[in-house]
Structure 1
Amino acid sequence: MTSVTGTKRGAVQGVVKGVAAVSLLLLATGGFFAWQHFAPVSAATGWDYRVAHDDVPKAAGLAIDEQGNLLVTEELRKKQGAMRRIAPDGQRSLVLDGLTKPDGLTAFMGGIAFSQETGDAPVSLLKDGKVTTLFMANDGQGLKADGPLLYAIEDRKGDGRLMRYDARTLALEVLRDNLSESESIEICPGNKMLYTVKEQGVVRQLSEDKTDPVYLDGLKEPTFLLCDERGLWIVEDQTHQARLWLLDNSGKLQAVLSNLRAPQALLPTGPGHYLLAEGGRNRVLALSFTGN
């Protein structure tokens, strides 16, 4: 016959085991999230990286001005965002403040065009110290200049647009609408135009019949595209474990950098050299090719 004392002892032991199991689960879960947070960036064979500039809050857009200075946007909300200049010697200065989620950044018509990822905000041109409104956008993000043409894409759920602005005529044309979480537009060799669809994890190619077939899939939250002599670069905008991909000219897809946190724009600075804004760690990385 089982005693009352034995029953109580068994119940207590069961509670202790349950608490221990929950504690181990919480410890393991906490360890996993800590690993995600603190795991260092890793580079593929033949590549190396270093921190070029730290303490850059929510680093997002990157561009080089006509004096060779680096311009970087700080993608903060509620008019706390800014554009800063970093000189080759590392000295920093404020260019613009009072911005809301400044994101897209590109050289255009002798100045710098920039967007703000907020409702009904202008895509603007900074030139000779003055800011001029080019056109209005809703949650404008990616920008791509092509001579006097400026392409802009809106990061919205289901009603985003891809637009083309002509600086010669001041005309604004909507090329696509009803886009969902599209963040970047890029022009590749042969006038091939690509754009991301973040929620679908794909890159699409603009087509004349507007079907825009999938060019590359299987990605996780692709946010930024860059075409250069090495091929197509794709940045994933994930809070943890994001990657920088390169689809080279032979069709090989390689993760060049892994364990990134919310990376944004990639900027070429010379043969085999790039800068990458890593907004999730408030810094800009320098990426270099070290292989053959």
Structure 2
Amino acid sequence: MPRPAFAGAPLRRTAGLVLALATATLVFFAWQQFYPVRSAEGWSYRALHTGVAKAAALALDGSGDLLVSEELNDGQGRILRIGSGNGRSVVVDGLSKPDGLVATAGGVAFSQEGGEAPVSLLENGAVTPLFTGTNVQGLWLDPGRALYAIEDRKGDGRLLRFDLASHALTTLRDRLTEAESITGCPDGRLFYTEKSKGLVRQLTDDGQDPPLLSGLHEPSFLLCDGRGLWVSEDSTHRARLLLLGPDGTLNTILSYLKAPQALLPLADGKYLLAEGGRNRVLEISVQ
């Protein structure tokens, strides 16, 4: 019996729909990757360092060179030094998701988010373990020589305080959900994030820790300075760098970022931002 002429039409329509969906998906991911970052009026940016795989944490060493972590898992993670002229060298390798860097009086402390691992001190080329945590992401050093660390875990994360002089380790909070960053402000207030809840909380003596900001899209890194409280959103699509000013106004400084991570202030008033989703470090300036 001859096959009806229209028998292949449903298959052609299905194939056409599949092709259209695949094309739309590819276009979306291409747009997401290459759509340019937008800066707020009065601000500008440029790509300062490229080719830094999953750039995450930033710090300056004692000589003023930039340290940046490559947040790769399973022992593939590294901490790089980038000097003048973009010269690069590996400072520490064999790490699992190095995701916290903070300068100390004698060196640089760093953490690893890839499971149970030590928070360590890099000093004079030697690495010394300080204490052990699980999925430790954010680090912050207060002026009193205490190192704060926070664990990115689902429902059982901790906020820790490590005294660099006595080596006493204190658990300040537990049962946190995807807490990724801790920072302190010049006025003494401390803040931390709960990423999946879209919250930035203030650490308070009564343990209530009320939200300062809510409804954010995957808030991750925090920095507080004279301009206010900075928040980067660790999202791979249309992420933002936000600034909560002293007057309580929340401003979007950069938008259309891809997985931005740490923000580092520089002495000249500029900032460096690790944009892990595009494997680069941005320099941000006030015009």
- TM-score range relative to shorter protein: over 0.9
> Once structures 1 and 2 are overlaid, which stretch shifts more, 10-19 or 155-164?
10-19
1:127-180 Cα offsets, whole Å, 9 max, x none, are: 112111111111111000013100000011111100001112110000000111
Match of 1:204?
201
Q: How does 1:60-139 map to 2 (within 5 A)?
A: 60-139=56-135
Match of 1:280?
277
Distance 1:131 1:12, change over 3 A: closer
Shift of 1:42: 1.4
Match of 1:153?
150
Match of 2:212?
215
- Unaligned residue ranges in structure 2 (runs of 5+): none
Could you tell me how far apart the structure 2 residues matched to 1:258 and 1:268 are?
Answer: 19
Could you tell me how far apart the structure 2 residues matched to 1:175 and 1:45 are?
Answer: 40
Query: Aligned to 1:159, what secondary structure does the other structure show?
Result: strand
Query: Aligned to 1:35, what secondary structure does the other structure show?
Result: helix
Shift of 1:212: 0.7
1:41-81 Cα offsets, whole Å, 9 max, x none, are: 11111111111111111111100011111111111111111
The two structures, once aligned, show a CA RMSD in angstroms of 1.9
Q: TM-score, normalised by structure 1?
A: 0.92
Return the index of the structure with the highest Cα Rg.
1
Query: Aligned to 2:121, what secondary structure does the other structure show?
Result: strand
Could you tell me how far apart the structure 1 residues matched to 2:218 and 2:176 are?
Answer: 15
- The percent of aligned pairs where both chains have the same amino acid is 56
> Once structures 1 and 2 are overlaid, which stretch shifts more, 88-97 or 213-222?
88-97
Query: Aligned to 1:168, what secondary structure does the other structure show?
Result: coil
Q: Does 1:140 align with 2:136?
A: yes
Shift of 1:19: 4.7
Q: Report if aligned partners of 2:66, 2:81 keep a CA contact under 8 Å in 1.
A: yes
Query: Aligned to 2:266, what secondary structure does the other structure show?
Result: strand
- Unaligned residue ranges in structure 1 (runs of 5+): none
Q: Does 1:44 align with 2:40?
A: yes
Instruction: Give the partner amino acid of 1:60.
Output: A
Shift of 1:38: 1.8
Aligned length: 286
Shift of 1:33: 2.6
> Once structures 1 and 2 are overlaid, which stretch shifts more, 127-136 or 154-163?
127-136
Instruction: Give the partner amino acid of 2:30.
Output: A
Q: Report if aligned partners of 1:68, 1:88 keep a CA contact under 8 Å in 2.
A: no
Match of 2:28?
32
Shift of 1:231: 0.8
- Indicate which of 161, 165, 170 corresponds to 2:167: 170
Instruction: Give the partner amino acid of 1:70.
Output: L
Instruction: Give the partner amino acid of 1:93.
Output: S
Q: How does 1:252-267 map to 2 (within 5 A)?
A: 252-267=249-264
Match of 1:181?
178
Match of 1:268?
265
Q: How does 1:228-243 map to 2 (within 5 A)?
A: 228-243=225-240
1:91-118 Cα offsets, whole Å, 9 max, x none, are: 1111111111111000113210000112
> Once structures 1 and 2 are overlaid, which stretch shifts more, 28-37 or 260-269?
28-37
Could you tell me how far apart the structure 1 residues matched to 2:99 and 2:30 are?
Answer: 28
Distance 1:129 1:15, change over 3 A: closer
Instruction: Give the partner amino acid of 1:123.
Output: V
> Once structures 1 and 2 are overlaid, which stretch shifts more, 186-195 or 33-42?
33-42
Query: Aligned to 2:31, what secondary structure does the other structure show?
Result: helix
Could you tell me how far apart the structure 2 residues matched to 1:119 and 1:12 are?
Answer: 53
